[in-house]
């Protein structure tokens, strides 16, 4: 038995698809079109954009999105977590921080799976801004609809889908460390 799952959890009976794979694929294509328009403006002058996948959740979304991006980019990753394999957040733990030498003077795009309470993405955005980039933008696959957002007013610049306020997994989001690979978004049944 896997140490991260409840012995009685069954994907087919304990969860339901709330956003289908085809709907997610369309949202990712639409978001890519928006990003392509944004980064083709004169402000960016064809400069390569430094794209940072926020690990681990942003990996699925980043991989799917990259297929549709047409601007020059350099891909890297950052890793900060408040969750680990838990279902509720704790203190921020950095596993791979932004470095000034990599960010200074560049246009930065952060990619993540979900904007839930937003504290992790806000901290990453803030840390990147301290490294003196030309610009920092963020894009997320999903934005969870609730009022528990950062009090600063921080929010992502680009959002693929609004999702209901339930425990979600699939498309990079996990349930006790598992199921990030699912191509649809699931929620636990009530």
Read off the pLDDT of residues 78-96 as tens digits, 9 standing for 90 and up.
998 876 554 555 678 888 8
Task: State which residues form the domain around 74.
Answer: 21-164
Judge whether 62 lies within some domain: yes
Tell me if 182 is assigned to some domain: no
DSSP E strands, 93-149: 93-96, 107-115, 135-144
Q: Give the rounded distance of the alpha carbon of 88 from its chain centre.
A: 17
| 187 located within any domain | no
Q: Is the dihedral of CA 103, 71, 64, 24 positive or negative?
A: positive
Residue 28 within a domain: yes
Domain membership flag for residue 171: no
Q: How many domains does the chain have?
A: 1
The lowest-confidence range among 38-47, 81-90, 163-172 is 81-90
Q: What is the CATH number of the domain that holds 116?
A: 3.40.50.2020
pTM of the predicted model, to two decimals? 0.90
Tell whether 57 is covered by a domain.
yes
Question: How many other C-beta atoms lie within 10 A of the C-beta of residue 95?
Answer: 11
Helix spans in the chain (H): 11-14, 21-39, 58-66, 100-103, 119-129
Least trusted range by pLDDT, from 56-70, 79-93, 98-112, 123-137? 79-93
Q: How confident is the model at residue 148 (pLDDT cuts 50, 70, 90)?
A: confident
């Amino acid at each position: 038995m896997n140490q991260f799952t409840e012995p009685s959890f069954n994907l087919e009976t304990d969860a339901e698809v709330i956003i289908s794979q085809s709907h997610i694929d369309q949202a990712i294509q639409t978001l890519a079109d928006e990003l392509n328009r944004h980064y083709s403006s004169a402000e960016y002058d064809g400069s390569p954009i430094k794209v940072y996948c926020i690990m681990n959740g942003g990996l699925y979304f980043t991989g799917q999105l990259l297929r549709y991006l047409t601007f020059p980019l350099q891909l890297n990753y950052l890793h900060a977590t408040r969750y680990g394999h838990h279902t509720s957040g704790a203190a921020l733990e950095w596993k791979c921080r932004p470095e000034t030498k990599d960010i200074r003077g560049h246009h930065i795009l952060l990619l993540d799976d979900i904007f839930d309470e937003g504290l992790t993405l806000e901290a990453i955005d803030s840390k990147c801004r301290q490294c003196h980039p030309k610009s920092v933008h963020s894009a997320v696959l999903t934005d969870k609809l609730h009022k528990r957002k950062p009090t600063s007013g921080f929010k992502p610049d680009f959002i693929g889908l609004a999702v209901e306020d339930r425990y979600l997994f699939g498309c990079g989001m996990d349930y006790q460390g598992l199921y990030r690979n699912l191509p649809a978004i699931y929620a636990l049944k009530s």
